[in-house]
Amino acid sequence: MARLNGKTAFITGGAKGLGAEMARLFAAEGARVAVSDVDEAGARAVAEEISATGAKAIGFRHDVTSEVEWTDAVAHVQKNLGPLDIVVNNAGILAVKLIAEQTLEDFRHMQAINVEGVFLGIKAAFLAMGARGGNIINISSVAGLMGSPGHIAYNASKGAVRLMTKTAAVEAGALGLPIRCNSIHPGIVATEMTRVNYGVGVVNTVSDAVIPTIPVGRFGITTDISAAALYLASDESAYVNGAELVIDGGWLAGRMTRAPVQE
């Protein structure tokens, strides 16, 4: 089954982790895929791996914080792969710092990538898709839905992604543009980001203590998230718009309802 047959998808931050997995799955489902990243070698390697399967893919360097680079990137994608149908604003960074230790410089750096990068991606998608329409998927986080110690910059950035998503959905509607925009909110998924910041995947780390608080009893894997992205990217989700899809094994549901009840 090819759920994205004939579509062109552009995925940022696709050199590894969630972005690379989405690129692989989208290509396997019939899409022509563009993979960009500040890690040019990584983006090219993922595109080459996909091309080796017979699918069409390109990989190139692109810093999502630069509006000029967004303009060039979209032109490059449309020239090589055809009109843009799907943009996944996936590129992002995480660093854990207590409020008292958080510098304004580091706070702004995270907003530049996680917020301004997504804003520029939404803007570029609107300009490229226009009346032809398309589909934007923004990767937020459960951290865009709840606060957590040490995450003031990341919480701020992912909360912004959640609401920019809704603005894009309603503004497209107000303008009569057939563009959908939804956000995905992963829980803790094993990637380099969570290995470096939480020790996920490293044996006997404090992160293991979190597992009993996740109803399905494990951290996420990249294919858990790519499957959700595929659904949002496909026409099966034609009536899903401005929505937030939480993919966290039930973790957030538990944190919202769990009260310190004692017998």
Ligand X SMILES: NC(=O)c1ccc[n+]([C@@H]2O[C@H](COP(=O)([O-])OP(=O)(O)OC[C@H]3O[C@@H](n4cnc5c(N)ncnc54)[C@H](O)[C@@H]3O)[C@@H](O)[C@H]2O)c1
Q: Is 188 in the site for ligand X (CB under 6 A)?
A: yes
Among 8, 12, 226, 234, which residue sits at the site for ligand X (rule: CB under 6 A)?
A: 12
Binding letters toward ligand X, positions 129-148, x by CB under 6 A: ----------x-x-------
Task: Single out the residue of 182, 180, 184, 207 nearest to residue 196, CA to CA.
Answer: 207
Nearer to ligand X, 127 or 221 (CB): 221
Q: Does 93 engage in binding with ligand X (CB under 6 A)?
A: yes
Helix segments in the chain, DSSP class H:
17-28, 40-51, 67-81, 104-111, 117-129, 152-175, 192-198, 222-233, 251-257
d(CA 197, CA 206): 11
Which C-beta is closer to ligand X: that of 63 or that of 244?
63
154 given a catalytic annotation:
yes
Residues pairing with 86 in the sheet: 9, 135
**Residue 236 beta carbon to ligand X: minimum distance, rounded to whole angstroms:** 22
Closest CB 117 distance from ligand X, rounded Å: 6
Q: How far is the CB of 168 from ligand X (least distance, A)?
A: 17
Binding ligand X (rule: CB under 6 A), the pick from 135, 165, 183, 194 is 194
Q: Which residue has the tokens 């094993």?
A: 190
Of 64, 120, 228, 246, which lies in the binding site for ligand X, with binding defined by CB under 6 A?
Answer: 64
- Contact predicate 225/21, CB 8 Å: yes
**C-beta separation of 226 from 25 below 8 A:** yes
> Quick check: 13 binds ligand X (CB under 6 A)?
yes
The least CB distance from residue 91 to ligand X, in Å, is 3
Distance CA 17, CA 209 (A): 23
Q: Would you count residue 94 as binding ligand X (CB under 6 A)?
A: yes
Binding ligand X (rule: CB under 6 A), the pick from 63, 116, 171, 208 is 63
- Residue 192 as a binder of ligand X (CB under 6 A): the answer is yes
Contact 156, 116 (CB under 8 A): no
Q: At a CB cut-off of 8 Å and minimum separation 6, what does 261 contact?
A: none
Order of strands, sheet of 244-247, starting from the edge strand that comes earlier in the sequence: 57-61, 32-37, 8-12, 86-89, 134-139, 179-186, 244-247
Q: Taking Cα atoms as reference points, which of 228, 168, 162, 237 lies closest to residue 26?
A: 228
Stretch that binds ligand X, among 1-9, 31-39, 124-132, 172-180 (CB under 6 A): 31-39
Distance CA 68, CA 21 (A): 27
Binding to ligand X, residues 196-255 (CB under 6 A): none
| Enzyme catalytic residues | 154
Binding-site ranges for ligand X (CB under 6 A) = 12-13, 15-19, 37-39, 42, 62-65, 90-94, 113, 117, 139, 141, 186, 188-189, 191-194
